[in-house]
Amino acid sequence: MSNSQFATFLSFTCRAIFRYIISVKKLLFLIPYSLFLFAANAAEYRAAIVADMDTGQVLFQHRAEDLNYPASLTKLMTLYLTFDALESGRLTLSDQLIVSRTAAAAPPVKLNLAAGSKISVEDAIKAVAVHSANDVARALAENLRGGREATFASMMTDVARQIGLSQTNFENASGLPDEDHLSSARDIALLAIAIHQHFPQYWKYFGIRSWTFGGRTYTNGNRLLGTYPGANGMKTGFTNSARFCLVATASRDGRNIVAVVLGSPNRDVRATVTRRLLDVGFGLENPDSVRASAASPAPAPAPAANRPATQNSKLKTQSSAAGRTGVQFGAFGSRRAADDQAAKVRRHTGLSPTIEQAGSLFRVRAHGLSESAANDACRRFREQRLDCFTFR
């Protein structure tokens, strides 16, 4: 082959290789684009609910009572019990939690804490709220309940019943996969509302966008923080069975809205759907557009024998009958705090509430009211900047 022939051959070969590279790049671009188109037209969630956090009024729901795996949304109950321990004086924010071998061995996501190491209660709260650390959730469970996560999980389920979660069963403190570890969008919304009403002093932890520990910075997976006007919490979750889940809260013009979405196919869809759900809550979007993107039917996650009993929840979707409505004016870690609250109820509403002990909590409640009387009492109580909610 002459030099000119070789040059021609080399030029042709290079052009062919270049065309092949370009075609591969186009193909690589088209693959994710086609996947995006598929995802955009696929079902965007399994279950969802939007509610007013102050009144309990349901503003939108779709398959909200279906049983689903809650994934790391479970950690909201772990933190609820942590806050209760802080309020009752059983813990302080500066207390040091000991990390056991069992906690250190928890699967990711985690902080990779070594067995025998310690972490403060406040850092533990941040690790769970921001990074969703499974090892820290287990450490909280073990330190709060005598070294056994299973015992703590039983307490989680008991307290869930006490605050109105009728479809929830917990098997661990983190939401790691278990076929009997179940909840519903409605119950998760109720849990978010309970934290908001019972422990407002700790609400700030759910709005932390990033947190630094051990020289490493962790970013909150809730993409609505800092991008959705008024967003101030709350928690993400994911397992292969649960798919991508999110509880998000936002406040605008004196209104506090919570949205729950379960079973989205990826993080982007999860965030987009939740924004739209919050828009529905604030009256900015038509509920039908969100309902049309739901998956149907939702998967049946557990054998019927293991499912928790279903009953009416405290989220209000219809009017209560006269004389069958109650008001809860708070749940407290000590009898003294409950007595003080009961005195405020009598002073500001004229009602004579009862104090009901439910596990480690003391609930201040008034029963047997008409719906209008209950709403009026709660309104007068809120005028004093005090929390309450009605239930049936």
Contact 187, 167 (CB under 8 A): yes
Q: Domain limits of the chain?
A: 47-298, 325-391
For the domain 47-298, what is the CATH code? 3.40.710.10
For helices 371-382 and 335-349, angle between their N-to-C axes, nearest 10 degrees? 110
Residue 21 corresponds to which amino acid? I
CATH homologous superfamily of 325-391: Sporulation related repeat (3.30.70.1070)
Strand order in the sheet with 354-358: 354-358, 361-369, 325-332, 389-391
- The SS3 assignment for 301 reads coil
In a 13 Å sphere around the CA of 92, the CA atoms on its Cβ side amount to 2
Report pLDDT for 126: 98
Q: Is the pTM of this model over 0.75?
A: no
Torsion-angle region of 136 (φ positive above 0: left; ψ -120 to 50: alpha; else: beta): alpha
CA angle, 139 then 142 then 143, to 5° = 85
Give the pair of three-digit tokens for residue 185.
């969008």
Report pLDDT for 375: 81
Report pLDDT for 285: 83
pLDDT, block means (10 residues), the chain with 392 residues: 44 43 35 35 82 92 94 98 93 96 96 96 98 97 88 93 90 95 96 94 97 96 96 97 97 96 95 96 85 61 44 48 69 83 89 80 83 82 76 65
Count of beta carbons in the 10 Å neighbourhood of residue 245: 30
For residue 306, give every residue at least 6 positions away whose Cβ sits within 8 Å of its Cβ, in sequence order, or none.
169, 179, 180, 182
Q: SS3 sequence, 147-167?
A: CCHHHHHHHHHHHHHHCCCCC
Catalytically active residues are 72, 75, 132
Report pLDDT for 301: 53
